[in-house]
Amino acid sequence: MVKIGNININPTKIVCLGRNYLDHIRETNARISTEPIFFVKTLNTLITDNEPIIYPKILYESEKYNRVDHEVELAFIIFQTCKNVSAEVAFDYIQGYTIFLDLTARTMQKNDRNINLPWYRSKNFDTFGPIGPTI
């Protein structure tokens, strides 16, 4: 259970859309994909307003992995299970919107990407998903 403002939510997953900002794609020398790039952040990343972001030891004690970047995202809070929903009724499942901060251990991500590993490790440290303060 996560409390955002005065609303309690019980998230089951965090699905994110990657490479959705052209300036960031250029900045990271990534290719523009013809298909959406989805990734997940795990529930342990979620923290709310005024909770501290805690850098794990592997990041702050390592010159190899010490860079952490943030990207401000728009989060849609979907309040009931849905699947194969038509565009006409999709908004009926959205409780509201809030701010989500996608934190990434950037040098770790680059190193992992260079050896064809997914983004998972660099994005899912505890506290790497601040959300809120209101819906």
Alpha helices of the chain — where are they, by DSSP H? 22-27, 57-60, 106-114, 120-123
pLDDT at 88 over 80: yes
Place of tokens 């959205």: 94
pTM: 0.88
- Residue 64 is predicted with a pLDDT of 82
- Confidence category of residue 74, pLDDT binned at 50, 70, 90: very high
Third-level CATH fold of 2-130: Fumarylacetoacetate hydrolase; domain 2 (3.90.850)
Q: Answer yes or no: are the C-beta atoms of 87 and 128 closer than 8 Å.
A: no
Kindly state the average pLDDT of the residues 37-58. Answer: 94
Kindly state the average pLDDT of the residues 75-91. Answer: 94
pLDDT digits (tens, 9 = 90+) for 106-121: 999 989 989 999 989 9
